[in-house]
Structures are given as C-alpha cells and as structure tokens.
Amino acid sequence: MTSLGRRTLLGAAAALPALARARAQEALRITLAGGSVGGAWSAIGNAIGEAIRRQRPGSAFSYEPGRDAANVTLVAQGRVQLGIAHAQIALRAIKGEPPFDRAMPDLRAVSLIDSEAAWQPLVRAGAPVSTLEEIAARRVPVRVTANLRGTLMALATEEAFAAAGAPFAQIERWGGKVHYVAWNDALEMLKNNQVDIITNVVDFPSRQVINATRGMEVRFLGFGSDLVAKVNARLGSTPVTIPANAYPFQPEPVHTFRAHVILLTAAGVPADTIETVVQAMLAHFDQIQRSHATMARLQPAALPDTGGVALHDGAARAYRAAGLIR
C-alpha cells in the first residue's frame, strides 16, 4: 500500500468517531397526536415536544389534536411518530378488537403518562336511579352520556353498563337515550336537566368536575365490586378507590376502575429516535411535570409501566441505561 493510501485510510478512520457523533446529534422530525387543544393531553404533548427540542437542538416538533382510537391508527399507519392514548385502547388495536377493524400488532409503548384516570359516573339529584344495577333490574329509561365514540371513556361506559345488564341498545329499547358527546357538553346537559347520568374517565379529584357541579346537586352513581371485576376482565383496566370527600358531594369512598394513559409509537420508528425521546423526557422531567396537574404526581420510575403494551426497543434501551428497568 502506498503512503498516500495509508494516509487516506487513517484519515477516514479518524473521521469515523466524529461522523458517528454528528449522526447521533442529527435533528429529529417528530409529530405527536394528542387531545384537543387546551386539554391535558395537549399540554403534556407540547411539553414533551419542548423536551425533545432541548435535548436535540434543531429538531422539528409538531402537535396534532386528536382522539384515542384515531391517534392509535395514525401511529400504526406511520403518519405520526408519537401518539397519546389509553393503553386499553391500544391493546384492543393490537388484537384487532372493536372499535378497530383490523389488528395493529406493531404498536409499542414509549412511556406512561397517567395511571390515575378513573371511571366516574355522576347522577343528578332526582334521577330515577341511584345505582347502575338498578337500571337493569327495573328497566329504567335513563338518559346517559358516554363521551365521544372511539374513546376509552365511551368504551369504559359501554362495558360498565353491559356488565350491569343494561347495554346501551337495551336502554334505548326501554325508552332511554344514549348521547355520545364531549365531556364539556355532558356537564352542560346535566346542568340543564337534559340527562340523568354523565360519565368520564378522568383524574380525581377533577377540578373541572368540581367547578362544573358547583351549585348542582349530584352524587356518584353506585355500582358493585363484581361489576368492576367484569369490566377489568374485559378492558384490562385495574381497580382504584377514590377516597371519601375527594369531592364535596362524595362522603364515602368510591371503588371503581382506572385506565393507563400512555405515549405510543410503532415498532418501525428507529430505536435511536425513541431512545432520544425517552432521554429527553427523563432529562427534562421537571418541565414536563409542570405542564399539567396530571403529571405532578408522576415520577420517572413509573414511566416504563405502560399498562401491558410492550415497550419499544429504543424506550427499553433508555430506561435500562437510566436504571429504571433491568
């Protein structure tokens, strides 16, 4: 080999580490699908985006408003890199169960966002029932809201009523009415006496519930522990207790079920990209915590607990390096 050739090879070898470092610091292009603008998912999603920009300067981040099932589909189709959704919805997508018409086995988890979102059914004072089981026993034509179709909130309510022997189709045959409307609309309908029962899957105590029900006579709709067990078996949710007096209208504890809100991606997204996302979340966790009250009680050690959805390889690598998983 000539001296020129040797110098060329040595120069190329010397450049490799620098090239590797440069590639490692390449800017990312990330789109995250979350919830409606102004809501918890929007605040948290944008905080994650800011963490990514700080971790990897020059990165481009965009946020798209969305909804549970739609976000899952966008991630599975590769149209966005990240999405916020309930783990229970993602598990249904992986299996191809309703509301999805095909299996999406390549869905992966990045991190936990919230594990304290509890199913909370409120009933107005003067409503014809006080428990969920009573609806089926007496065939009461109640008026119910179930949040928007394609959300875990609606799915959880459908499952709970079905477990009590009062599926929505049956309620309407009894003369009742089911409304698939947003939570703010449901609160307004309850205030205007247009419905008897409203439901949601939210944190507790929910400041929105407290503010919206101020001056209204409401209480929690009663239901038994066997109903919770049935729903958990169907949804993959877990039991949780809302402590007594969490709300002004709630003197007794409420034993209900909860869902996991997680950050999703797809298996095909590069491991280096997702590793960087998790590294950014860990490095700037204080900022993410401040983005919304939902995040205030979450600790970094809980991030790998993604409600049964398998971690992406890149996420697992980052958590392992941080000592959060083995």
Q: What is the pLDDT of residues 118-129, one digit of tens each?
A: 999 999 988 999
Q: Could you tell me if 90 and 125 lie in one domain?
A: no
Task: Give me the pLDDT at residue 20, please.
Answer: 41
Q: What is the pLDDT of residue 72?
A: 97
Q: Which domain holds residue 98?
A: 28-114+261-321
Q: How many other C-beta atoms are found inside a 10 Å radius of the C-beta of residue 201? A: 26
Evaluate whether residue 127 is within a structural domain.
yes
The residue among 259, 292, 307 that closes a domain is 259
Residue 233 has pLDDT above 60, yes or no: yes
Total structural domains within the chain: 2
Residues 6+ apart with CB under 8 A from 45: 32, 34, 35, 63, 82, 84
| Residue 204 maps to a domain | yes
Same domain, residue pair 105 and 158: no
Same domain, 37 and 90: yes
pLDDT digits (tens, 9 = 90+) for 275-315: 999 999 999 999 999 998 878 889 999 999 998 999 999 99
* Same domain as 245, residue 180: yes
Same domain, 129 and 91: no
Q: Which residue type does 212 have?
A: A
| Type of residue at 304 | P
Classified as helix, coil or strand, 186 is: helix
In a domain, 137, yes or no: yes
12 in a structural domain: no
Q: Look at residue 23 and tell me if it is in a domain.
A: no
3-state secondary structure 252-285: CCEEEEEEEEEEEEECCCCHHHHHHHHHHHHHCH
16-59 pLDDT per residue, tens? 444 444 444 688 999 999 988 878 899 999 999 999 999 999 99
Q: Is the domain of 252 the same as that of 135?
A: yes
**How far apart are the C-alpha atoms of 326 and 321, rounded to whole Å?**
9
pLDDT, residue 10, reads: 42
Tell me the pLDDT tens digit for each residue of 252-281: 999 999 999 999 999 999 999 999 999 999
Report yes or no on 6 lying in a domain: no
| Confidence check: pLDDT of 205 > 80 | yes
Q: Any idea which residue has 């000592």 for tokens?
A: 323
Q: Is there a single domain that holds both residue 241 and residue 160? A: yes
Of the candidates 205, 200, 174, the residue with the CA atom closest to the CA atom of residue 189: 200
Same domain for 190 and 101: no
CATH number of the domain at 179, please.
3.40.190.10
Mean pLDDT of the chain: 90
Q: What is the pLDDT of residue 222?
A: 93
Task: Answer whether residue 10 is part of any domain.
Answer: no
Q: State whether 223 and 123 are in the same domain.
A: yes
Residue 242: count other Cβ atoms within 10 Å of its Cβ. Answer: 21
Task: Decide if pLDDT at 181 tops 80.
Answer: yes
Q: Which residues pair with 30 in a beta bridge?
A: 61
**Tens digits of per-residue pLDDT, 59-96?**
999 999 998 899 999 999 999 999 999 999 999 999 99
Choice among 8-12, 119-123, 137-141 with the minimum mean pLDDT: 8-12
Tell which of 259, 286, 312 closes a domain: 259
Q: Are residues 90 and 182 in the same domain?
A: no
Q: Which pLDDT score, from 0 to 100, does residue 244 have?
A: 96
Residues 237 and 129 in one domain: yes
Nearest residue to 83 via CA among 102, 57, 106, 116? 106
Q: What angle do CA 77, 307, 221 make, to 5 degrees?
A: 110
Residues 278 and 265 occupy one common structural domain: yes
**5 assigned to some structural domain:** no
> Could you identify the residue written with the tokens 């947003």?
182
Q: Which amino acid appears at position 197 of this protein?
A: I
263: left (phi over 0), alpha (psi -120 to 50) or beta: beta
Closest CA to 312 of 83, 61, 26: 83
Q: Which of 240, 259, 278 is the last residue of a domain?
A: 259
Backbone angles phi, psi at 80, to 5 degrees: -135, 155
pLDDT of residue 36: 83
